[in-house]
Amino acid sequence: MGSDSIFLRGSLAKCDGTENIESDPFFRGTTKRGLIETLSSIRTMKSISNLSPRQITALKALVFALALLPLARLIWFGFTDQLGANPVEFLTRSTGTWTLVFLCITLSVTPLRKLAGWPWLARLRRMLGLFAFFYALLHFTTYIWFDQWFDLASIWKDVLKRPFITVGFTAFLLLWPLALTSTNAMVKRLGGKRWQALHRLVYVIAVLGVVHYWWHKAGKHDLAQPEIYAAIVALLLGYRLWVFLARRSRERQGAAPLRMGNSPQ
């Protein structure tokens, strides 16, 4: 960021609002917004070039394989009769836990990327988010298949009657628009701003996931695990709030709102 930032600040000081930078021949015909966008793209390209395309592909393949391990474990346990006395409960709990874990991992990409200076992490975010959706789908399928035997009336009754199921179901419904708009084509179609706004739903989903878990365990007076997830989600969302408030206060103080290729997730 350093040199770009200094260059950008210097350049922006030459222009007034979004008018053309007429005074300097180097910037003739360039608007403030154009300049920010150009520098932002340069910076994004630089960041991504931290790892070569081959390294990124290898990393993605590794993360993909690792993310399939919880499923492989369940399949292995199924074939070797290790799912315990209540296999449906085992499957539901395991897939539910992994949904929450992948939601937390997805939410930690941006803070880690910025705090540790690992820009390439952004390239893994979509895959991690889709794995959260994948495990939620398995979790829901286990429930409607082996717990409810596709009895739609009974499922609906359960969703309305048990608040923890209501909350889990709501989180699951909210995951759909994110999964369906995860492609590059959808980002283009919606436009960056609208896409980002929609994908902030992941914050709500993570909170609902924790509430769902908390409520489920509250009945059993066993909140040790939900408390850990609640703390992690609070930390990850607290980081966003802190960044947002810091940016707003900078903008209020009149500094140029430099947003260099940032995204909120």
Tell me if 3 sits within 8 A of 11, measured CB to CB: no
Q: Which is nearer to ligand HEM, 131 or 172 (CB)?
A: 172
CA atoms of 90 and 83, how far apart (whole Å): 6
CB of 54 to ligand HEM, least distance (A): 34
207 lines the binding site for ligand HEM (CB under 6 A): no
The count of chain residues that interact with ligand HEM, using the rule CB under 6 A, is: 22
Letters for 175-204 (x = contact with ligand HEM by CB under 6 A, - = none) are: x-----------------------------
> Element (H or E) spanning 1, and its range?
none
Residue 190 burial (10 A CB sphere; 0-12, 13-18, 19+): middle
213 contributes a contact to ligand HEM by CB under 6 A: yes
Q: In whole angstroms, what is the distance from residue 145 CA to residue 168 CA?
A: 16
DSSP result, 101-143:
HHHHHHHHHHHHHHHHT-GGGGGGHHHHHHHHHHHHHHHHHHI
Residue 24 backbone dihedrals phi, psi, to 5 degrees: -105, 120
CB of 222 to ligand HEM, least distance (A): 9
- Which of 67, 105, 109, 172 is in the footprint of ligand HEM by CB under 6 A? 172
Asked if residue 169 binds ligand HEM (CB under 6 A), the reply is yes
The answer for residues whose C-beta is within 8 angstroms of residue 20's C-beta and 6 or more apart is 28, 29, 30, 31
CA 110 vs CA 27, 114, 117, 182, 243: distances in Å: 33, 6, 10, 17, 11
Binding mask 225-244 for ligand HEM (x = CB under 6 A): --------------------
Kindly tell me which residue out of 8, 168, 211, 233 binds ligand HEM, with binding defined by CB under 6 A. Answer: 168
Residue (172 or 203) nearer to ligand HEM, CB: 172
Q: Which of residues 83-102 bind ligand HEM (CB under 6 A)?
A: 89, 92-93, 96-97, 99-100
Residue type, 174: L
Contacts to ligand HEM by CB under 6 A? 89, 92-93, 96-97, 99-100, 136, 139-140, 143, 165, 168-169, 171-172, 175, 205, 209, 212-213, 216
